[in-house]
Amino acid sequence: MLPIRSHLAAALAAAGVFMAAPAFAQTSGCGDAQKFLSERQSLIQQINKLGGSGKKKTIDPRAACGIFTKLVSNGSTGLKWLETNKTWCQVPDEFAKGFEEDHKRAVDMKGKACAAAAKVAEMEKQAKKAQQNGGPGGLLGGGGLTGSYSMPKGAL
């Protein structure tokens, strides 16, 4: 997550470049970068919150998949914008390269998070099916904490 944060700082610095562009460039779409950059910042904050504050916390892959899906969509929008407006809006090459690298990492993380979310959904489906069929209904497929245990009778 650290590389995403450093590129986020670069993105915000570049947003300042867009705001300082000449007035005639603003009308051509240079100000549009601020929209997807602020949305991107919000999505990255949501991702950082999923991990907790330094504690070992399990992350719900379904939530991560949803946020990374939005982040990838945002990155695709950003890449299209850069392709069209990079020269006109005087976007630094370092920013464009960093943004593209961040987008590739986000695509990779989305794939991993969504694959894990699919596995969780499949496991839940199997557990629910087993429970409905009278099989073991514990969280991990076992009997869970239900039932009784009879003590042996007689001398021990």
CB 71 within 8 A of CB 106: yes
List, for residues 90-137, the tens digit of each pLDDT value: 989 999 999 999 999 999 999 999 999 999 888 888 888 877 776 555
* Longest CA pairwise span in the chain (Å): 96
Q: CB count, 10 Å around CB of 2?
A: 6
Q: What angle do CA 13, 14, 20 make, to 5 degrees?
A: 100
Question: What letter represents residue 109's amino acid?
Answer: M
Phi, psi of 86 (to 5 degrees): -55, -50
**pTM to 2 decimal places:** 0.64
Which residues, other chains included, contact 127 with Cβ-Cβ below 8 Å and sequence gap of 6+?
137, 139, 141
Give 60's Cβ-side CA count (13 Å radius). Answer: 8
Between CA 29 and CA 48 the distance in angstroms is 30
List, for residues 35-91, the tens digit of each pLDDT value: 889 999 999 998 888 876 656 667 888 899 999 999 999 999 999 999 988 899 998
DSSP secondary structure letter of residue 30: I
